[in-house]
Amino acid sequence: MPELPEVEVVRAGLEPAVTGATVLAVTVVDERALTRHTAGALDFESALTGRRLAGAARRGKFLWMPLAEQEVQTALVAHLGMSGQLLLRPAGAAPERHERIRLDVEHPQHGELAVVFADQRTFGSLALDTLTATPDGAAGGRGTDVAAVPRQVAHIARDPLDPAFRDTVFRSALRGKGSAIKRVLLDQTTVSGIGNIYADEALWAARIHPETPARDLAPRAVTRLLAEIRAVLERALAEGGTSFDAQYVNVNGQAGYFAHSLNAYGRTGQPCPRCGRPITRVSFMNRSSHYCPRCQRMPRVPAVA
């Protein structure tokens, strides 16, 4: 599933093309892509046609494009799911192989183009949703100055690269959780944007075993973990995200290159870049965890007197 770096790469690619663009036409090819828009395809098409897009914003793994000049603040919300893609194509371009929805738009500078939502596995979705104020009064996410998020995104926590992310809030949340630290990192209501790949990479970099109870982490370990999360996400962003197949691409259909820089994820049996011991893979929440058994040891449990 695309994580923060991949979704941010898509957002940044969309932003100059959609900001100020007017939607000329909407074509819903497959209504399964509207599972979050309960009013259906006809409502989606009519409500969006003729509207002007005001930008491209992101919180965690969610994207949204606010609609300009609305009495009730509304946005086009996108979640890429497992294999969703938002692609920019020339006007009149041939349909994509897994095309679900197409927006024909006209930009005042770039002219006409198509914004295509393609999704092989059909777990992603588009929807129109109203905006609601952020509880902390800060901007909703990356790419917007408005202190609001779509209602469907309101439960999603801020991510560690968000200027409004508060380390103290994160630390406090960890102190109340007996769950494994990796499970906490994947909980988008605690911290957003981190999935399986970057959780494994950050925990490896911070030398923390993925099954360590969150509340057992020492303050220094939490500080180190936050620093490594940010470092991993920033490096992945610089390399365009992580692509293992053709399912994740940017808006121009190009793959990311961070897969070549992974230290733990997907490297089962290969030597740890730090100590040389083989990377271990274990089952975790219907997925897998990858870690170094020497560098990432479980803390010892004090003996009961």
Per the annotation, where are the binding residues for DNA? Answer: 98, 121, 177
Tell me, yes or no, if 51 is annotated catalytic.
no
Buried b (16+ CB within 10 A) or exposed e, 35-51: ebbeeebeebbebbeeb
- Could you tell me the two tokens for 74? 């509304």
Alpha helical stretches, state H, the chain: 4-18, 41-48, 167-175, 181-186, 196-206, 219-238
* Marked catalytic residue, from 175, 287, 297, 299: 287
Q: Binding site, residues?
A: 98, 121, 177
* Marked catalytic residue, from 2, 5, 150, 160: 2
Contact of 262 with 201, CB cutoff 8 Å: yes
Tell me, yes or no, if 201 is annotated catalytic.
no
Tell me, yes or no, if 287 is annotated catalytic.
yes
Q: How big is the chain, counted in residues? A: 305
Alpha-carbon gap, residue 186 to 155, rounded angstroms: 14
Give me the torsion for CA of 152, 156, 158, 162, rounded to 10°. -40
- Could you tell me the two tokens for 36? 């979050």
Tell me, yes or no, if 2 is annotated catalytic.
yes
- Could you tell me the two tokens for 174? 């960890």
Alpha-carbon gap, residue 204 to 214, rounded angstroms: 15
* Marked catalytic residue, from 51, 61, 142, 267: 61
So which residues are the catalytic ones? 2-3, 61, 287
